[in-house]
Structure 1
Amino acid sequence: MELDMAIGLTVEFTIGEGQNEAFEAFMAGATAKVKAEDSGCNNYDLFRSVEDDTQYILFENWATEEDLTAHGTSEAMAGMAGIREFTTARPVLHRYEVPD
């Protein structure tokens, strides 16, 4: 994989019943921090399923593989450890190359 190629990432979350408000507040703070502090972040947006309100997906788009790698060790990402308080299963990640 080329290091200068744009990278897309989806992260699927399943949260506990009744955790929506707290989870969304937590993620609002986390996404704002990532967008403000992590270089190369083009998108970092959370969506709730209209069919099952315990299902969420985070859409990420990074300018380069290097930016995504740096995000993985950033202070903003370290703060995401608190997400375990809300989730009932491990998040499911999918990586994508963004075609030219």
Structure 2
Amino acid sequence: MPDTTASQEEAHVWLTPVFTAKPGQEAALREALAGLQSASRKDAGCLEYTVFADDQRPGTFVLFEGWARHEDLEAHNEEDHVKDFVTRVQPLLAMPFTVTPITPLACYGQAL
């Protein structure tokens, strides 16, 4: 009988949220994102949670996050530190933040 369970890599969830600060709010947004990064890295199932500054768009920050399972992401989104962050940063943002799910084209060690 064929194995119908998904591999560990296929179960992972990867996202790239993007945040753009209002002019003059860049430092406050950077600080809020740094706090979110520190807290979220401790959440169950967190594989990656790193904030990057976009070098081509000042005031724009890209978050690269990975979760072992969709359920881990759902639990993370219900954490107080995430809910508090979303509320706290609304006045700092030039536009609503976006979240793009992404999927690796190949697993580690495999050619594309």
Using structure 1 for the length normalisation, give the TM-score.
0.85
- Give the gaps of 5 or more residues in structure 2: 1-5, 108-112
2:14 pairs with 1:8: yes
More displaced stretch, 61-70 vs 88-97: 88-97
Kindly provide the CA deviation profile for residues 66-95 of structure 1, in whole angstroms up to 9, marking residues without a partner as x. 101111111221121211121011111111
2:74 pairs with 1:69: yes
Report the Cα distance in structure 1 between the residues aligned to 2:78 and 2:103, rounded to whole angstroms: 21
Does 1 or 2 have the higher relative contact order (CA < 8 Å, sep 6+)?
Answer: 1
- Quote the RMSD (CA, aligned, Å): 1.6
Kindly provide the CA deviation profile for residues 42-71 of structure 1, in whole angstroms up to 9, marking residues without a partner as x. 111111111121211111110111101111
Counterpart selection for 1:39 from 40, 44, 65: 44
Using structure 2 for the length normalisation, give the TM-score.
0.77
The residue type equivalent to 2:71 in the other structure is: E
Report the Cα distance in structure 2 between the residues aligned to 1:55 and 1:24, rounded to whole angstroms: 9
Identity of aligned residues (%): 25
Kindly provide the CA deviation profile for residues 18-60 of structure 1, in whole angstroms up to 9, marking residues without a partner as x. 2221111111111111112x10111111111111212111111
Deviation beyond 3 Å, 4+ runs, structure 1: 97-100
